[in-house]
Amino acid sequence: MDNQSLNDAIEDIKLIKQVIDKSTDSFLSLGQIFLSWGVLFLFNTLYVKLFIFESYAKSVLILGIFPYLPGMKFVIFIIIGILIFMFFSHKKHLSGKSKQIMRLWVFVITFNLIVPKVLALHDEQLNMLMFEIKTPILLLTFSLALFFTDILSGINFTKWMGIIYILTAFFAFLPGKISPYFDLIVWPMTFIILGIYFVYRNHLARGK
């Protein structure tokens, strides 16, 4: 092998390494975003549990004085979520498959947060129906996102999560089997697990 061929081979190896490093950093950023979103959803779950469930009379009184408080909380959480995304994606830009995975999950999150609220504004009976089926719908949409995450990233772990979510969703459709408030656990659990796993995969890749 002459010097030119050797230099070309070295440059090719460097280029491949740069692509791998960029992809690895991108998955680290994705994991950090998911983990932070999971913590944010966990705060929301704790807020609902402490403010609504355990202090119902007090919450009714406060909402009577500040009727726009739930809407303000919703907007604040959305803004914080966007700031988290901007912070971590700016540190290490999402690229390739990581960007596609992020777009997928943003769509799923938007669907589950916005659509039920929009439908509830038009029909009280529809509002009650959405309350009863929101958990199985959440599980089904999350399972689809998990399957596509497996396809895009090649991580079998998300596929098995998706299978568990589908089985749980069908079980949740049965009357009285799962609390309608189970979704408050699904939101933080999903993103914290995914966040930890993506960060863990990044450390494994770095170790290699």
pLDDT digits (tens, 9 = 90+) for 98-132: 888 988 999 999 888 887 776 666 666 665 666 67
Encode burial over 35-65: b for 16+ CB neighbours within 10 A, e otherwise: bbbbebbbebbeeeeebeeeeeeebeeeeee
Residue 56 pLDDT exceeds 70: no
Q: Which domain holds residue 57?
A: 3-207
Mean pLDDT of 59-84: 71
pLDDT for the residue numbered 201: 81
Q: Which of 95, 77, 127, 86 is nearest to 26 (CA)?
A: 95
Report whether pLDDT(142) > 50. Answer: yes
58 or 158, which is more confident: 158
pLDDT of 158 over the 80 cut:
yes
Q: How confident is the model at residue 182 (pLDDT cuts 50, 70, 90)?
A: confident
Using only the alpha carbons of the chain, give its radius of gyration. 21
| Count of the separate structural domains present in the chain | 1
Give the pLDDT band (50/70/90) at residue 174: confident
Q: Which residue is listed with tokens 């998990």?
A: 146
Output the pLDDT for position 104. 92
Helix or strand holding residue 175 (H, E): none
